[in-house]
């Protein structure tokens, strides 16, 4: 029996409908899959960039620490008067300062003062050992003049910072640092005649530093770090890390060939980045990875670092696979309905079908900001398909919104203290730089309050870190409540806080604010029914009289704080009012 034109038209329309729905579903799936993969890759690249910035911040913090100690008056005085001091007393104040810094930075293995004389003899040295911090006394001090980090640092001008190559520490007597991945950050100490008398060296635990930086990363991400030549320094497989130390080579450009663009001395200056796919024998093992080459800006270093994060491709495409199954169900449902209703809906098929295709095409081309016109009010199959597509669009928009929120959170983590929520050292330095620039232009003043909590270590050691964290949060809230919105309260590490009073021209007002701060922080903190007495010592530095740059201004406030501590705690001192500017600070 011959089929009539109606049936032939119906069958043709049914076939066209099936074909159109299949193409629509496939096009939507492929476009959405590409969008999801691109979004996941950008998220991975963003996380890698944030991690690279945090690495720069960590090394910058180390450089600030060595510069702060090198510029301290007691450091030069100790090198100049070493031979005239008695063996039992010399270096004790410097050792206490090293001890404080090592307590604040658990990623530091070791801190030393090395003289340029006597073949680079160590003068003061504090190591991290399995039992805690340990000062090494004179009979165990060594000569280090033959090590490259000593020779290279002593050639640098005053204020310059040297960063060594990352390597396995094979120095004898390095305690916890021996046989561990590390690098040295050092700066020279000059006298008034511009002669280098010695250097300050910090030995950084590279593994612990990256463990801290990557603490908040998901378990599905793999961390990679290589030097500028491609040698792995950190790798999920420990056998690949520092292979050159064992006479072997394990290179990032062998595992990820596209990273050759980031390796070697021919790479352009500035951060470089890429996203690549690791070649594997099976698709299940495929890995998407983002790499960033991070130069060490402002530091003297033989090489930069290439840092990367990897994520399994199946994890990246998990949402796309779910979307594919949803699209397949929609296509099958629509095809069945198209065959049944082709004869009756032949004239009505063209308009909504074209509308769907147009909306999907616009969505695939990037029209994500506003909902696309879809026939969602229809009560037939086109309405079902339109609502499913609208739901798909909503899901994708939600994923983009989630990506943006995660990126904002990563940016916030890079600039705020994770415990108290206050700005961290990096954000505070940015705001202080801007405030000092405004003060110079308008010939105004500003003040910096350096605050160190009293008795905090006793609370932390006696009641534990949970009590210490509660005290830090309470103190941070009290400080924030006592300043204006234009001022900045920041936690810079441990129990140390710093406050910027922007536009503070009146010393009486500064004194009033600081005294209220002392009185308020002296009030007990209630913790689990106990009254914990803490308090704080405050040092105040004013711009420009106490320092015309960030380093000198903060150092002046820091020194004034230590004078306040030595004077009995729960006090404030102005740097400009110190009777003896050569007073050596010590940690009580």
Q: So which residues are the catalytic ones?
A: 495
- The C-alpha atoms of residue 46 and residue 406 are separated, in whole angstroms, by 10
| Contact assessment for residue 161 and residue 300, using Cβ atoms and an 8 Å cutoff | yes
Do 249 and 236 form a contact (C-beta atoms < 8 A)?
no
What angle, 0 to 180 degrees and rounded to 10, lies between the N-to-C axes of helices 92-104 and 73-80?
Answer: 140
The alpha carbon dihedral of 310, 311, 317, 319 has a sign of negative
Q: How many whole angstroms separate alpha carbon 555 and alpha carbon 561? A: 10
| Spatial separation of the C-alpha atoms in residues 502 and 511, rounded to whole Å | 14
Measured CA to CA in angstroms, residue 416 lies from 103, 224, 253, 484, 554 at distances of 21, 25, 35, 19, 19
Residue in the structure block whose two tokens are 């009293």: 454
Are 197 and 79 in contact by the 8 Å Cβ rule? The answer is: yes
Nearest C-alpha neighbor of 152 from the set 110, 209, 201, 80: 201
Residue 124 phi, psi dihedral angles, 5° rounding: -135, 135
Q: Kindly state the tokens that stand for 266.
A: 């021919």
Phi and psi torsions of 530, nearest 5°: -100, 150
Tell me how far CA of residue 137 lies from CA of 90, 95, 98, 114, 309, in angstroms: 10, 10, 14, 13, 43
* Alpha-carbon 69 to chain mean position: 24
CB 310 within 8 A of CB 222: yes
Nearest of 303, 296, 224, 298 to residue 263 by alpha carbon: 303
By the 8 A CB rule, do 565 and 533 touch? no
Give bridge partners of residue 301 from the DSSP assignment.
Answer: 163
- Cα(276)–Cα(288) distance, integer angstroms: 6
Q: Nearest 10 degrees: CA dihedral of 506, 512, 518, 524?
A: -150
How far apart, in Å, are the Cα atoms of 301 and each of 38, 166, 239?
A: 35, 10, 26
Q: Tell me the two tokens of residue 412.
A: 């916030």
Tell me if 577 sits within 8 A of 546, measured CB to CB.
no
Chain position carrying tokens 């398909």: 385
DSSP reduced 3-state for 500:
strand
Paired tokens of 286: 């495929």
């Amino acid at each position: 029996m011959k089929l009539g034109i109606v049936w032939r038209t119906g069958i043709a329309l049914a076939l066209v409908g099936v074909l159109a729905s299949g193409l629509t579903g496939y096009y939507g799936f492929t476009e959405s899959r590409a969008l999801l993969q691109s979004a996941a890759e950008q998220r991975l690249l963003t996380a890698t960039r944030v991690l690279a910035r945090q690495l720069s911040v960590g090394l910058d913090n180390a450089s600030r620490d060595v510069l702060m100690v090198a510029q301290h008056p007691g450091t030069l005085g100790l090198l100049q008067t070493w031979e005239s001091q008695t063996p039992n007393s010399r270096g004790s104040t410097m050792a206490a300062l090293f001890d404080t810094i090592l307590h604040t930075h658990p990623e530091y293995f070791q801190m030393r003062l090395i003289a340029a004389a006597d073949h680079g003899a160590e003068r003061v040295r504090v190591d991290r050992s399995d039992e805690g911090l340990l000062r090494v006394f004179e009979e165990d001090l060594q000569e280090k003049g033959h090590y490259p980090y000593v020779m290279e640092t002593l050639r640098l001008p005053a204020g310059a910072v040297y960063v060594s190559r990352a390597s396995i520490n094979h120095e004898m007597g390095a305690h916890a640092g021996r046989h561990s991945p590390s690098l040295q950050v050092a700066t020279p100490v000059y006298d008034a005649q511009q002669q280098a008398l010695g250097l300050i060296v910090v030995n950084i635990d590279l593994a612990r530093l990256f463990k801290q930086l990557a603490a908040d990363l998901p378990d599905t991400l793999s961390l990679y770090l290589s030097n500028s030549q491609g040698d792995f320094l950190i790798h999920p497989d420990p056998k690949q890390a520092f292979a050159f130390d064992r006479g072997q080579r394990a290179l990032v450009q062998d595992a990820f060939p596209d990273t050759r663009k980031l390796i070697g001395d021919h790479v352009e200056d500035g951060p470089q980045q890429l996203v690549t796919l690791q070649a594997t024998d099976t698709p299940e093992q495929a890995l998407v990875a983002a790499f960033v080459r991070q130069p060490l800006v402002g530091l003297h270093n033989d090489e930069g670092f290439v840092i990367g994060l990897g994520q399994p491709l199946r994890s990246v495409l998990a949402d796309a696979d779910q979307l594919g199954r949803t699209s397949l169900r929609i296509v099958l449902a629509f095809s069945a309905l198209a065959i049944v209703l082709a004869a009756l809906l032949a004239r009505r098929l063209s308009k909504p079908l074209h509308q769907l295709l147009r909306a999907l095409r616009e969505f695939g081309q990037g029209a994500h900001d506003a909902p696309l016109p879809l026939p969602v009010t229809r009560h037939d199959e086109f309405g079902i398909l339109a609502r499913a597509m609208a739901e798909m669009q909503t899901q994708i928009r939600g994923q983009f919104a989630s990506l943006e929120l995660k990126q904002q959170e990563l940016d916030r983590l890079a600039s705020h203290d994770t415990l108290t929520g206050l700005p961290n050292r990096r954000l505070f330095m940015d705001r202080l730089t801007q405030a000092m620039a405004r003060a110079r232009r308008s010939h105004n003043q500003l003040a910096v309050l350096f605050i160190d909590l009293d008795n905090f270590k006793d609370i932390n050691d006696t009641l534990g870190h949970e009590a210490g964290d509660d005290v830090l949060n309470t103190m941070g809230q009290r400080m924030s409540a006592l300043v204006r919105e234009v001022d900045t309260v920041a936690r810079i590490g441990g129990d140390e806080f710093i406050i910027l009073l922007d536009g503070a021209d009146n010393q009486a007002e500064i004194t009033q604010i600081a005294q209220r701060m002392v009185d308020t922080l002296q009030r007990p903190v209630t913790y689990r029914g106990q009254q914990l007495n803490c308090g704080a010592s405050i040092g105040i530095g004013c711009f420009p009289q106490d320092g015309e740059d960030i380093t000198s201004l903060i150092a002046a406030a820091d020194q004034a704080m230590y004078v306040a501590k030595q004077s009995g705690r729960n006090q404030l001192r102005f740097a400009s009012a110190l009777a003896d500017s050569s007073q050596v600070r010590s940690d009580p």
